[in-house]
């Protein structure tokens, strides 16, 4: 059996293979509510044959959206909007569905990428972002509001409430977004966090709030379902977060019952210098896995099935998450299975698409026609 297509069990959730559809922001919600776009987008990815489908970064409060079009889960209306989307997925696919819970921090109130992605000023209909410290993400931008203790309590409550809503929706797993320069990563990084209280300064202090959020989410989600964390393993900026600091954070998460670390990087500063190449972040997943024993997810320009399989086979990671490659080829798991001599689940409506030379691609199936 190909390592990439071997099963993996996380608490009560068994994934049929090691391919994850990465959470990908669509900037297509209305007031935080899922729309017909989400039905189409998530619906067709649910038929991809991947082992896990993760819903995009979902804001726990309106001010935590990256853009006005971000998906949210903060009230009964945003919760109800996801019900038909998930019902359609469940009717036609048994793929496990995760959700990434997030708060954008100082990167909130931004235009969608296709509209430039820059900060929307309050005078232009935006809102003032919140952050660990009153430091703008980019020179020349208005400074965010430094979170005070009532603000920290508000965000704690928001993560807990969103987690309970996700549980009611039947979500199978939660990933907490502590990466890409958003709020929880901002607390971890000395570039964005220059607080003088117990939430800033030393690494132990900078980890404090993200760890509190993990504890809240873990306590609010069913004990038999997994909770993982996406991290930016390094900031790619001098004086920023290092892999050693991230490993220390992962070790603390492990003590609290974390089920995986999704090892990404960067995002906290426009000064970052990232050496892009296929699998450029995979070494972080390997280092975290070796140091902590936690399951890890490798991400970052991984698009070749042999490469993905080798990462699992060599023990560099336990899962491989696909983003842009999955958008470009939503049947990537089918093609990977065909190349690696494995099989994937497919809806019966598609069984006749199986190539003649790969008769076992969809497993032991049979169908007739009059």
Q: Which stretch of DSSP H or E encloses residue 131?
A: strand 130-131
Is the distance from CB of 176 to CB of 230 less than 8 angstroms?
yes
Catalytic residue of the set 27, 149, 182, 328: 182
* pLDDT tens track for 266-307: 999 999 999 889 999 999 999 999 999 999 999 999 999 999
Is the distance from CB of 60 to CB of 103 less than 8 angstroms?
yes
Is the distance from CB of 132 to CB of 199 less than 8 angstroms?
yes
* pLDDT tens track for 208-258: 999 999 999 999 999 999 999 999 999 999 999 999 999 999 999 999 999
pTM: 0.96
DSSP 8-state secondary structure symbol assigned to residue 297 = E
Percentage of the chain modeled with pLDDT above 70: 98
Is the distance from CB of 298 to CB of 281 less than 8 angstroms?
yes
DSSP 8-state secondary structure symbol assigned to residue 165 = H
Work out the widest C-alpha separation in the chain, in whole angstroms. 75
Residue 182 annotated to the active site: yes
| Structural domains for the chain | 3-345 (3.20.20.70)
Q: What pairs with residue 175 in β-bridges?
A: 100, 228
pLDDT in tens, the chain (370 residues): 799 999 999 999 999 999 999 999 999 999 999 999 999 999 999 999 999 999 999 999 999 999 999 999 999 999 999 999 999 999 999 999 999 999 999 999 999 999 999 999 999 999 999 999 999 999 989 999 999 999 999 999 999 999 999 999 999 999 999 999 999 999 999 999 999 999 999 999 999 999 999 999 999 999 999 999 999 999 999 999 999 999 999 999 999 999 999 999 999 999 999 988 999 999 999 999 999 999 999 999 999 999 999 999 999 999 999 999 999 999 999 999 999 999 999 999 999 888 888 878 988 666 655 5
Is the distance from CB of 243 to CB of 284 less than 8 angstroms?
yes
């Amino acid at each position: 059996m190909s390592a990439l297509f071997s099963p993996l069990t996380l608490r009560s959730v068994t994934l049929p293979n090691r391919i994850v559809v990465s959470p990908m922001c669509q900037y297509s919600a209305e007031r935080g509510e899922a729309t017909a776009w989400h039905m189409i987008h998530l619906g067709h990815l649910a038929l991809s044959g991947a082992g896990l489908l993760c819903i995009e970064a979902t804001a726990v409060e309106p001010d935590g959206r990256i853009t006005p079009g971000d998906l949210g889960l903060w009230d009964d209306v945003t919760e109800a909007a996801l019900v038909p989307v998930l019902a359609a997925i469940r009717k036609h696919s048994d793929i496990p569905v995760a959700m990434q819970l997030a708060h954008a921090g100082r990167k909130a109130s931004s235009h969608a990428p296709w509209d430039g992605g820059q900060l929307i000023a309050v005078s232009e209909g935006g809102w003032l972002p919140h952050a660990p410290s009153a430091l703008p993400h980019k020179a020349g931008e208005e400074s965010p509001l430094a979170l005070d203790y009532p603000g920290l309590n508000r965000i704690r409550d928001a993560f807990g409430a969103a987690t309970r809503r996700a549980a009611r929706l039947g979500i199978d797993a939660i990933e907490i977004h502590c990466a890409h320069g958003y709020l929880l990563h901002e607390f971890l990084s000395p570039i964005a966090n220059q607080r003088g209280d117990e939430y800033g300064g030393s690494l132990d202090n900078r980890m404090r709030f993200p760890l509190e959020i993990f504890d809240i989410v873990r306590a609010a989600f069913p004990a038999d379902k997994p909770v993982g964390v996406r991290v930016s393993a390094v900031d790619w900026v001098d004086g920023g977060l290092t892999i050693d600091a991230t490993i220390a954070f992962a070790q603390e998460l492990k003590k609290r019952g974390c089920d995986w670390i999704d090892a990404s990087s960067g995002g906290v500063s426009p000064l970052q210098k990232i050496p892009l190449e296929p699998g450029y972040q995979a070494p972080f997943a390997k280092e975290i896995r070796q140091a902590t024993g936690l399951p890890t997810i490798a991400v970052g320009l991984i698009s070749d099935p042999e490469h993905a399989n080798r990462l699992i086979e060599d023990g560099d990671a336990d899962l491989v998450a696909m983003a842009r490659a999955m958008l470009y080829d939503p049947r990537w798991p089918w093609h990977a299975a065909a190349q690696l001599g494995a099989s994937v689940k497919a809806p019966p409506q598609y069984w006749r698409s199986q190539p003649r030379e790969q008769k076992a691609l969809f497993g032991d199936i049979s169908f007739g026609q009059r």
